Amino acid sequence: MNALLPAFLTAAGVVAIGGVAKLRSPWAATGALAVAGLRTRPTAVRVLGAGEVALAAACVIEPSTVTALALAAAYLAFAALVARVMQRSRGSAPCGCFGDEGGSANRWHLWLNLVAAAIALAAAAAPPSWEAVDLGGIELVAFGAGVLASVYLAYLMFTALPDAWGSRSQAGAEGGRT
């Protein structure tokens, strides 16, 4: 199995979560786009969300140079949006990437988008394949469970980790004062 397949599927899975979130609740993304100077309607955000789900599905069904380049372009666009929101809000603001589920436009989010873009670009150069994955039995179940766990952990890295880390840093700063 190409070593990039799990990482590529994880990056695609995070895009799918964001797409579903935008379909379900487009208002946070609409607000983030407005902060970036891009006024749009919730319907347009839902169309974007549907496109994200379709892109993720294409990446899972047929990992290829084309789908990897499309995923890289999406993550680079997300990174540009996060950078723009950070610039215009003069700090951290909701990114809208995961609907109302959280996620702030901050340096951590920007770097995660760039790492995901790099994974997708690596996959474009050496496209991963399903050919070496045993599509029967417990191996496929274990592979799928591992990828789903990785998707969830990556989602938490975008949404929960920055706030948790900030709380930890804040508690440490307050604990040091007497």
Long-range CB pairs of 162-171 (<8 Å, 24+ gap) are 162/104, 162/106, 162/108, 162/109, 163/102, 163/104, 165/108
8 A C-beta contact, residue 97 and residue 158: yes
Say what the pLDDT of residue 56 is: 98
Q: What does pTM read for this prediction?
A: 0.86
Can you tell me the mean pLDDT for 79-107?
A: 81
Count of structural domains within the chain: 1
Can you tell me the mean pLDDT for 46-51?
A: 96
